[in-house]
Chains A and B, each alone.
Chain A
């Protein structure tokens, strides 16, 4: 196990290096720079700014400088938000996104898995059809439509939900529904389909024949195996949801990371693009690793360290 973790750690570092490299050069290949505006800056000022941020050097040198800084954990200063470092921006915006995202992930797990189990056990009965009807609705309506409808109906017309910021628990309802809707439906359907499959297996019959209670059969024998596809999906999802969604954050006026990131791509705020990507990549790589560890815990037959 120790060797597996060590090997994995090295391959994670290599992955990050690739991500940094590819993103860096893609970003520089995109037309326009952080200081090219419609109204051009006077040449001397531009020159000073570019020298200050090393933008006058060739791209590969900028890349090497950036790699050295990132290795030290320094993500550099923001080009657009003067006086802010990227580390500070992440420190400020990530908790905001993570709070909404965390609640959404919890909702996805707490509701999605049980709904899937109940649907599978009551296959083709009304409980199943009702759940799957909502699950289908959940995937067919895009999050920006759900979000806008919530703001429109509950905030503008009925005035029962606040529409911007995150100051009270009521503020969370709208963004969480918009953010969790799709994944909740996905998890419910995945759980249902793999539960249906697992319940037909011989070992379930054996477990029942042994006289185990239905609850033990379900949780210990069926659910464990049924959860593998759910985990494969939820692991990377956690990284994606916790780092924020541009659409939801824009609709509900939440100043989180997702919104900030898309804006920074728009105005070529190089260091912010890189910083957020690196942050997300670390998060994702760790989550994928956690998923692999969980596979082994859930199904001892899976051995990755071979």
Chain B
């Protein structure tokens, strides 16, 4: 019987290439991130946001080298001057050029923003994810630690850091870095608590997927919406915390500017020199709008349900 089934070589015939590809219903294989990038590129608002953010970073890095003024040059002859060709944004109460101060302020504020988002992303999401997914005792202990971190007064904590590290940007960054992920952790945990009961998690478990895989490939992508919203909201919040610390005298020390401290410095002379508040506020607004546009675009691009 078996011998009859054998097909001799001469009976085989090579198929033409055309014929071979006819049945193919494949298309180029894309990794998850390639697909995300492809969809992000289509969203023009998100691309505007991305380009704006890159521009702001470039200005913050290279801007100070292109100006003939520095952030601390005082000229008491020209205090509180309005906008002019020489000083595009006018000058402040010490006669310092406001444009260069806003550009320099971007360095501090953007550093704070970047640190806040990294901390949110890496600590907040992972911490909240693990806590929510593990549940029970682990969750209880992890979330009580979050409670402790969020109740210890920031002001007190900042004072201690100033003593240990000396006053300046590094202690502000450390203060913000250690506490800024708690809100994200709470929100992610809440999402995961609900998502982990869904059928696809059970399916993944049945297929033998590891805990890490379930958490990072299944649960967290599905919680992306609230994560991105929280992220875009925590960035301005961190910038304002820095300015609040400057406001009560614990932030970046004068004459170094940050957007927050520029805004709070301008409040005193608001009636006579409103432009001093206008420019730092506009800088914050544009940056936040850019982050928001990019964030909304990323949210849609990362949504696993929309993936093709």
Contact = CB atoms under 8 A, between A and B. Distances in A.
A233 B183 contact: yes
Interface string B237-277: 10010011001100000000000100110010011000001
B236 interface: yes
B229 A189 contact: yes
B284 A301 contact: no
Interface string A184-195: 011001100110
B143 to A, nearest CB: 7
A152 B270 contact: yes
B151 interface: yes
Contact of B148 (A18, A190, A295): A18
Contact of B152 (A30, A136, A236, A277): A277
A15 B147 contact: yes
Contacts of B299: 193
Interface stretch (B22-30, B56-64, B185-193): B185-193
Contacts of A26: 152, 156-157, 160
Contacts of B281: 141, 145
A19 B163 contact: no
Which of B163, B194, B260, B303 gathers the greatest number of chain A CB atoms within 10 Å?
B194
A186 B267 contact: no
B194 A225 contact: yes
A136 B285 CA distance: 8
A14 B153 CA distance: 18
Contacts of B141: 11
A146 B135 CA distance: 41
B162 to A, nearest CB: 9
Contacts of B186: 232-233, 236, 288
B228 interface: yes
Given A7-B140, A233-B187, A247-B247, A295 B194 contact: yes
B233 A142 contact: no
A144 B144 contact: no
Contacts of A121: none
Contacts of A140: 236, 284-285, 288-289
A19 B156 contact: no
A172 interface: no
Interface in A4-20: 7-8, 11-12, 14-15, 18-19
A23 B260 CA distance: 27
A232 B189 contact: yes
A145 B277 contact: yes
Contacts of A301: 194, 197
A233 B292 CA distance: 19
A200 interface: yes
B152 A196 contact: no
Contacts of B237: 139, 182
A215 to B, nearest CB: 23
Contacts of B183: 233, 236
A142 B260 contact: yes
Given A22-B148, A139-B288, A295-B194, A31 B163 contact: yes
A69 to B, nearest CB: 19
Secondary structure dominating the interface of A: helix
A137 interface: yes
A305 B62 CA distance: 55
B148 A19 contact: yes
B247 A27 contact: no
Interface in A100-157: 136-137, 139-145, 148-149, 152, 156
A262 B236 contact: no
B248 A143 contact: no
B260 A190 contact: no
Contacts of A280: 151
Interface in A241-275: 246-247, 261-262, 265-266, 273
B248 A246 contact: yes
Contacts of A65: none
A274 to B, nearest CB: 10
B199 to A, nearest CB: 11
Nearest to A305: B136
Given A22-B148, A144-B264, A247 B143 contact: no
B124 to A, nearest CB: 12
Contact of B140 (A8, A141, A233, A291): A8
A193 B229 contact: yes
Contacts of B301: none
Nearest to B235: A139
B148 A15 contact: yes
A71 interface: no
A243 B143 CA distance: 21
Nearest to A277: B153
B17 interface: no
Contacts of A27: 156
Nearest to B132: A302
A190 B226 contact: yes
B308 interface: no
A228 B277 CA distance: 38
A29 B158 CA distance: 12
A229 interface: yes
Interface of A: 7-8, 11-12, 14-15, 18-19, 22-23, 26-27, 29-31, 136-137, 139-145, 148-149, 152, 156, 182, 185-186, 189-190, 193-194, 196-197, 200, 225, 228-229, 231-233, 236, 246-247, 261-262, 265-266, 273, 277, 280-281, 284-285, 288, 291, 295, 299, 301-302, 304, 306
Q: Which 7 A-B pairs have the closest CB atoms?
A: A232-B190, A301-B197, A229-B226, A140-B288, A281-B151, A193-B225, A140-B285
